[in-house]
Amino acid sequence: MNDNKKQLWQVVKFTLFSLSAGIIQIGSFALLEIFIKRYWIPYLISLVLSILWNFTLNRRYTFKSATNVPVAMAKVFGFYLVFTPLSTYLGNLAEAHGGLDFVILIVTMIANFVLEFLFCKFVVYRGKEDTLTDDKSK
């Protein structure tokens, strides 16, 4: 497969897995919002659930990386050390100024999608893509 097709397919897979993570995030956010009325608590819990899902699928199927999982997860954790407080603060601020919770969530999720793809592609898995083998004999 040529490089352009490979990269396009990578974007498609990342998008599909991110959509599935988005469903997990929105579903868990909606469920938690029934019981917890403050925006930031359901947001943080639903974000963590979607991160774990997305990381697992994208490492295995999108980037096909055999990179050290704890190191890769630490890099993703570093990304979220910046993204999470910033998005939580801005989301809480938007809610305090009349923003609708789900509109805030969707805008945040789109920003997360774009930034996380770029971070994974150029930082987490740089030089380590397509290193995962499907050898089940090990």
Give, for all 138 residues of the chain, the pLDDT tens digit. Answer: 788 898 999 999 999 999 999 999 999 999 999 999 888 899 899 989 999 999 999 999 999 998 899 999 999 999 999 998 999 899 999 999 999 988 998 899 899 999 999 999 999 999 999 998 865 544
Query: Does residue 78 fall inside a structural domain?
Result: yes
The DSSP secondary-structure symbol of 62 reads: I
How many domains, in total, are found in the chain?
A: 1
d(CA 86, CA 52): 19
pTM assigned to the model: 0.80
d(CA 125, CA 25): 24
Query: Does residue 130 fall inside a structural domain?
Result: no
d(CA 80, CA 118): 13
Domain that holds residue 76: 3-124
Query: Does residue 131 fall inside a structural domain?
Result: no
